[in-house]
Structure 1
Amino acid sequence: MTFNPLRERGIPLDKQLRNWRELNVTPIDPDHVDPYTRCRIIAMNGIEVESIMFSHQLARHCPSVELKQQLAQVRYIEAQQQKVVNWLLPGLASVLETTIAYEQVAVDLTAWVARMEPDPYLQQAYQFGVLEDFDHLYRYANLYELIEHRKAQKIVDGLTEVMPGRPTPRHHRHPIDNVREPYDKSSAAPISKLHALTIMAAEQQTMNFYMNVGPTYMEPIARRLYQEIGLIEEEHVTHYESLVDPGETWWEQLVNHEYNECYLYHSFMETESDPKVKAIWELHLNMELEHLRLAVELFKKHDTRDVQEIVAPRMPEPVTFEPNKAYLRELIATQIDYTTIGTGYVQEAHERFEKLQEALMGGEPAPSDQVLEENRGKAGEEYRLETEGAHPVFPLRSGS
């Protein structure tokens, strides 16, 4: 039977509060966990954080105390969900190990979305961004070997290759060239709206993570690399958030956020290999079904349309974490030299791009190049992880 979250009943809101014992979940074992279980945890943390921050922004624009109170009740439960999800990560992992896992999420989640996206312009945005995340993974893997003397293979487990993408120093663009054209809310496929929210949330949490953990390192090269890639994550959030139609009402956005949470919890429940984590996905899905119901009620009060006009009539195919090696190699072969100009893409550097590069670099190599040089000097070669099994190639869709 097709799962339709608009027709399912979840746990009543007044039954969703959990006590300290229930919130104190057992973290995953980093030495035995499926790397994609870790990826699902990181991805859902980003989704929950986005939901909480969106709710705060909505509350700041609401004159009604009663409405603020309703948002606060749901938001508190969302905050409990976020704590449970993020606290599944083990305290044993170093910040850099978690960073590499964040980049594995960015690579394989964005690649999957790019493969599934039906709109050629939106698909191009994901293809463009994923080649940069791919290179970030490569740079952090070299930093990991340089300062912790360990291999990223331990974390990604060969599911994601570690090799150069679009060179990180070439990611620094003039800010106006990071803004894309939004989808049209009246004609965009419902799945396109979910894709945009998902990748925006994932990149936003990475931006926030790097802003906060970067200065906690003592090693100068680590501090510099986090600073550089942290600036690029700001570009990525701009890139992805601009895909969302700003003409969507607050209530429409609220429904889309809650529907997307249902979609992702359902997807991860369907694909999770760890029974304890799977049980959390199922519990949170049943909570989110009620959050969606409440959001739909608010939509009906404040919007004249039928909610069926803005969401998918049935749950789309599950989001799947899986290797994307062939697809990424195909993108590297065809799009490695892309940059942006205005809301489009070009394969040649242009004056605005070159001026920003000159001003930012100041005549010195970027930290992302310095980390490769230092690791080559210490280890004799830079770290890479290229694996077998990069076929069959997933075809690039039209318009890419």
Structure 2
Amino acid sequence: MAFNPLEERGLPLDQQIRSWRELNVEPFDPDAVHPYTRCRVITMNGIEVEALVFSHQFARHTNDKDLQRQLALSRYVDHQQQKVVNWLLPGWSSVLETTIAYEQVATDLTAWVARNEPDPYLKQAYEFGVLEDFDHLYRYSNLYEMIEHRKAEKIVDELTEVIPGRPTRAHHRHPFDNVRDNYDKQTAAAISKLHQLTITSAEQQTLNYYANVGPQYMEPIARQLYQEIGLIEEEHVTHYESLGDGSESWFEKLLLHEYNECYLYYSFFEQEVDPKVKQIWELHLQMEIGQLHAACDLMRRYEDRDPEALLPTELPNVLLFEPNKEYLRHLLATQMDLTTLGTGYVRDQHERFVAMQERLQGDGTPVSDMVIEQHRERFEGADYRSEQAGPYPQEAQDRAEAQWGGL
């Protein structure tokens, strides 16, 4: 049956604050957990952090104390939810292991969204970005074997391939060329708005994670790789956040945040294989339904608008974590040589792109290339790859050679 969170009662907001005992969840076992359970946990942590950041910004843009109090209550509950979700991650996983999981999230989540996005312009934005996250997975996986002497398939299993994407050195663009056209809030499909908010939240969380953990390494090459890819994550957040319609009111955006959380918790509850984690998704779904109702009440009160008129009458098809190997190989073969110019995409290294490359990399080799070079030096001329769908596509190799000088 179709699921409409607006028709569900959920857990009333004033009943949602929990005790320390309830928040003290047991982390999953990194050696036994399904890789996509880990991905769902990382995704929902990013979604909850975005909810917190948005709520704080909303509160800073009003002097209405009643509204600030309502936002504070909902935000405190979101903070408890974020703590539960993020504390499912085990403390004995290394930073690099979690990093590789973050890039598996970015790869398979963005690929699924691209496959299911109805708007051609938005679809292209996700297809462009996912080839870069795909390459980041490859770079970090090579670093992982060099530093920790382990292979990334221990983390991603055979669900996600580890092979080169668009070379990381080609991701450094002038900031002007990271700003995209936005969807129109009046005509955009509801699922397009949810996709944009989901991917922006996930990329923002990755940006924050790399900014915090990068300096913790002693190895210079690890510190430099987090610095380089961290700058690209800033580009990605700009790329995805600019797809949203900035004319949406604060209350419209609040409504979208709450509805999106309902959508994702419902989606993940439907597919979760870990019983304990599944219970958390179910509880948080009921809590988000209550928070959605509270957001609807705020819109009625402050904007005298019907929130139901802005939202779908039922949730879209569930968002799935699943392998995207064939789709990604198709993108490798057809879009490896793309870059951006203004709000569009081109196959030429234009003047602004070249100038940015010279400014950043004119005095040496980017560390993303050094990681692969050093891996090949240590492992008999071989880089680390996990290929399940056959040899690396020749079309991708040819495009990389022609545009970027190789992989």
Same fold, TM exceeding 0.5? yes
Question: Which residue of 2 is the match for residue 12 of structure 1?
Answer: 12
Q: CA deviation at 1:311?
A: 1.6
Question: Which residue of 2 is the match for residue 44 of structure 1?
Answer: 44
Question: Which residue of 2 is the match for residue 383 of structure 1?
Answer: 384
Deviation per CA, 1:356-381, whole angstroms, max 9, x where unpaired?
00010033110100000111111121
- The DSSP-based 3-state class of the residue aligned with 1:6 is helix
Q: Which amino acid aligns with 1:220?
A: P
Say how many residue pairs are matched: 390
Deviation per CA, 1:265-318, whole angstroms, max 9, x where unpaired?
000000000000000000000000010000011111223443233222210000
Whole-angstrom CA distance in 2 between matches of 1:365 and 1:184: 41
Q: CA deviation at 1:389?
A: 7.9
Whole-angstrom CA distance in 2 between matches of 1:371 and 1:312: 47
- The DSSP-based 3-state class of the residue aligned with 1:39 is helix
Structure 1 residues 41 and 389, CA, compared in 2 at 3 Å: closer, same or farther?
farther
Matched, 1:345 2:341: no
TM-score of the superposition, structure 2-length normalised?
A: 0.95
Whole-angstrom CA distance in 2 between matches of 1:31 and 1:281: 22
Question: Which residue of 1 is the match for residue 259 of structure 2?
Answer: 259
What aligned pairs does 1:27-106 form with structure 2 within 5 A after superposition?
27-106=27-106
Question: Which residue of 2 is the match for residue 292 of structure 1?
Answer: 292
What aligned pairs does 1:129-168 form with structure 2 within 5 A after superposition?
129-168=129-168
Greater Cα shift, 122-131 or 378-387: 378-387
What aligned pairs does 1:270-349 form with structure 2 within 5 A after superposition?
270-349=270-349
Whole-angstrom CA distance in 2 between matches of 1:149 and 1:168: 23
Question: Which residue of 1 is the match for residue 24 of structure 2?
Answer: 24
Deviation per CA, 1:174-194, whole angstroms, max 9, x where unpaired?
000000000000000000000
- The DSSP-based 3-state class of the residue aligned with 2:5 is coil
- The DSSP-based 3-state class of the residue aligned with 1:364 is coil
Whole-angstrom CA distance in 2 between matches of 1:250 and 1:94: 38
Mark the runs of 5 or more structure 2 residues left unpaired by the alignment: 392-407
Indicate if the aligned counterparts of 2:24 and 2:84 stay in contact, CA closer than 8 A: yes
Mark the runs of 5 or more structure 1 residues left unpaired by the alignment: 391-400
Indicate if the aligned counterparts of 2:200 and 2:240 stay in contact, CA closer than 8 A: yes
Question: Which residue of 2 is the match for residue 369 of structure 1?
Answer: 369
Whole-angstrom CA distance in 2 between matches of 1:335 and 1:388: 19
Whole-angstrom CA distance in 1 between matches of 2:212 and 2:167: 24
- The DSSP-based 3-state class of the residue aligned with 2:340 is strand
Indicate if the aligned counterparts of 2:326 and 2:389 stay in contact, CA closer than 8 A: no
Deviation per CA, 1:218-274, whole angstroms, max 9, x where unpaired?
000000000000000000000000000000000000000000000000000000000
Q: Which amino acid aligns with 1:188?
A: A
Matched, 1:212 2:212: yes
Question: Which residue of 2 is the match for residue 179 of structure 1?
Answer: 179
